[in-house]
Chain A
Amino acid sequence: MILLLYLALFLAIASLIIVGIMLWAKFWPTVSCDVKEVSVRKTNVGGRDLYLPRLIYSYDYKGAAHESSNVFLFGGRSFLSEKEALEFDSVDRAYICPLNANWSYLKLDPRVFWGLLSVSIFGLVLSLFISFLVNK
């Protein structure tokens, strides 16, 4: 049970750190980018087809050229149709990490942000519950 307590705390804190990075990432500098390749990947989860946009884009930052395929920061939602997934075609600005210019993204998915915030709260509550069981 102690192992479970540490795991729950670790996951809750890790989620909070990611949420914090996402908040910080909103203030990253933006540069214009050129979308070089657009495609949609299809996968099947539980008998349901899901579509993931896949973009390769390039950008210049502080005089250096970079290329990336990160559409979302820390991943993002998938779509139920190919058409929805392709809407990223219109994105023309990339957010660049000031600490590592190779790390960039095109959009922040609010689902990831709120989802991980919920997970971190759940993890803390679960940790308290496990502590209660351990000390019972």
Chain B
Amino acid sequence: MEHTWVEAFVDFEPSRGIKNRAGDSWIPIDASFKQYRFTEGMDLKERVPFDEQALLNSIKQSSLINEDEGWVKNVPQGDIEIQLQQFQDQIEAYIASQDSDATIAEVLGLQEIEILPPRPLAAGLPYDHIVTQDSFLVLPDDLRHKFKYELATQSYGYPNVPFITLNEPTAKLAGKKLALSFRPATDNDQEIIESYVPEADPATGRIDLTEFPDTLPGYLINLVAELKIDGEVVQSAAAQTMGTELHETIGLFSPSHNWFTSNNNPIAGEHRAIGLDLQGISPIQAHAIKSRMERTQAILESEDDTLLSTLTNDDMVGDVIYGTIISYFALNDLQEEVHAQGSEMVTYRLPSYGIFGTTIQPQYWFGLPRNISFSGLTIDVDAVTFHSVAKDNNEQARVNFTKSSGFQWSAMEHLVPEEMFSQPDAPTHGVSAVKALAIASAEGQKIWSIEQSNLDLAISQIDLGPEVEAEIKNAVLAGKIATVHETNIIYHGWVGSGYLLIDPETGAGAYKIAGGANGGVIMTLVAGVLGVLDGLTRVGSGGSAPIFPGAYRDLWKNAKWAKFLGWAALAVEAWTTLGNNDLSWSDKLGRLAGAMFAFGATSAVVGLAFGFAGIVFAAIVGLMFAVFISVLMNQFYSLYFSCICKLKYTGRVS
């Protein structure tokens, strides 16, 4: 087994390091070599057995399962919850009967490091040393775990030169609070924002929160991006106007696996707390956050103007947001430890990161972010890694543990924010991938398990939008197993889907949600095709009878009938666009005008093409033009008549 240790130049003779006056010897010290003390827990498996097979049989009896096609329907979630609750009650009763004050460690067993008192140093390593592979005076850069953060503007989806760049060893960032936030660039920008804050009631001195505007004019407000570590600004740069979509790259460097990076598109004006879980969340770090939040709460409740003036944006928003992502990691670490002990696994956290932050939804008008609204909070955990191995070295047990951990991490994405932000009279509703699947299942949707053998059938049966379906298809073709539901769910105003992409060999996977639909393409395409039909029927009419020769009369007749269907489809699409609450009225009118333009332009192109080379050429050119104009109009809508409807991954609360 490989080990890394340091050699310290210490005063070894004669006290063996107890009295350190002047160094005389290089002594190897391996801090990673530890002895554990194990305490037996209660034997719950034997004392309170759980009949998994009975539960499985009950699920199979109540569910509609099609193994050939690869889907399941009507899973009795209520029955499962009841049985699990009964099992939980039995365990609690047993524990209470043994020791009502038992701790988790006493129930599940304890594994703790033996902290030894200071004693004279040993002259050598505490294990057999076979060979030294290499030694360094200073740890080389490529053997350090590193974290990087880059923020840039973007052109056509690609990042420009980053205006914020952080690249530091993780050891420097451990336990520190990282956040990206924005402040007004000038006093004028500050005044514009303040002009939208309602006046305080002269009698009570309080501001009615309901009077806050729903939107801000993003194009009038310039912002400066600030990257903060422990509340101190370490880098800042102008980031254009509020509502501008930016390009963010986050990554971790591991000496064994090189860089892992993920890209996101934050919006200028959002507050994003970056949580690093390097080797677990330390109690000191958690306690520091709790203390800061308690201090802020005390100041807010004191209503003392002097104290209140000392509070910063970071105190009031930053700590709560950061506390949520750190709580997420801390709770998952704890759950995973408990889970590992119960599953006879050994697991260690590897550097992981995630983001929790506010979400801004801009609406654009001719490229300018015009209306900026706050649309909720988003948790986005891009990297969760850990070492795990079964105590009996069973590979399948390790894969199963990884899979069930993934479910737990996904579920926490809605549970933690819900717990953090719910009020007794105003519950918060979060969505994660596993919750979206549960909601879809409760709605009676089929839950598909997609492998390469049933990929084509499953893709033809689900309707989750082309981007999600393409991602699922690519993942399955790459060897992953996808778990998806049939159609988008609606949950407290959120429309979207949840899906899992799991590697069957390792159990690792992506737990994703995707929400928001960029409408408009279908309407333009339908309008374009309608333009083709209109063009064909117009050029085909030669007085009372069609002018085409016999072979093409059918084309003309079918075009005539299809035209009516096309009008119906266009009406449906127009109605859907008008009912899309994510779009303002100007956006809706813009899209309808775009569809009308597509219709007229395609019809004219068909007329010209017919004059040039006849009916077949006109039909093909017309359809190709309809596709072309749909692509162009889609780009045009996304720039000028759209809200940003980006895919949201992992979790969302609103």
Contact = CB atoms under 8 A, between A and B. Distances in A.
Nearest to A71: B549
B627 A126 contact: yes
A28 to B, nearest CB: 16
A93 interface: no
Nearest to B541: A43
B156 interface: yes
Q: Contact residue range for chain B?
A: 35 or more
A18 B631 CA distance: 25
Contact of A115 (B466, B469, B541, B617): B617
Is the contact region of chain B dominated by helix, strand, or loop, or is it mixed?
A: helix
A134 B470 contact: yes
Interface string A47-86: 0101010100000000000000111101111100000000
B628 interface: yes
A134 B613 CA distance: 33
A118 to B, nearest CB: 9
Contacts of B578: none
Contact of B615 (A4, A75, A115): A75
A111 interface: yes
A50 B611 CA distance: 7
A43 B613 contact: no
Nearest to A103: B551
Interface in B147-170: 156-158
Contacts of B637: none
Nearest to A111: B613
**Interface size classification for chain A:** 35 or more
B466 A3 contact: yes
Contacts of A11: 620, 623-624, 627
A39 to B, nearest CB: 10
B547 A41 contact: yes
Contacts of B547: 41-43, 52, 54
Interface in B588-624: 604, 607-618, 620-621, 623-624
B620 A111 contact: no
Interface in A3-38: 3-4, 7-8, 11-12, 14-15, 18
A70 B621 contact: no
Given A4-B525, A11-B624, A15-B620, A75 B552 contact: yes
Contact of A45 (B469, B607, B635): B607
Contacts, number: 125
A119 B549 contact: no
Contacts of B635: 133
Interface in A113-135: 115-116, 119, 122-123, 126, 129-130, 133-134
Interface in B506-556: 521-522, 525, 538-543, 547, 549-552
A99 B543 CA distance: 35
A78 B611 contact: yes
Contacts of B620: 11, 14-15, 18, 116, 119
Contacts of B241: none
Contacts of A71: 549
A77 B616 CA distance: 10
Interface string B626-641: 0110110011000000
Of listed A15, A42, A52, A122, residue having the most chain B CB within 10 A: A52
A115 B612 contact: yes
A29 B469 CA distance: 49
Given A1-B521, A4-B630, A133-B631, A77 B624 contact: no
A111 B551 contact: no
A112 B614 contact: yes
Interface in B288-304: none
Contact of B616 (A18, A46, A50): A18
**Would you list the 5 A-B pairs with minimal beta carbon distance, nearest first?**
A75-B614, A2-B466, A136-B157, A41-B547, A111-B613
23 contacts: A2-B470, A4-B521, A4-B630, A4-B631, A11-B623, A41-B542, A42-B543, A42-B547, A45-B611, A69-B551, A70-B550, A70-B551, A74-B614, A76-B614, A77-B613, A78-B611, A115-B617, A116-B620, A119-B617, A119-B620, A126-B628, A130-B631, A136-B157
Interface of B: 156-158, 466-467, 469-470, 521-522, 525, 538-543, 547, 549-552, 604, 607-618, 620-621, 623-624, 627-628, 630-631, 634-635
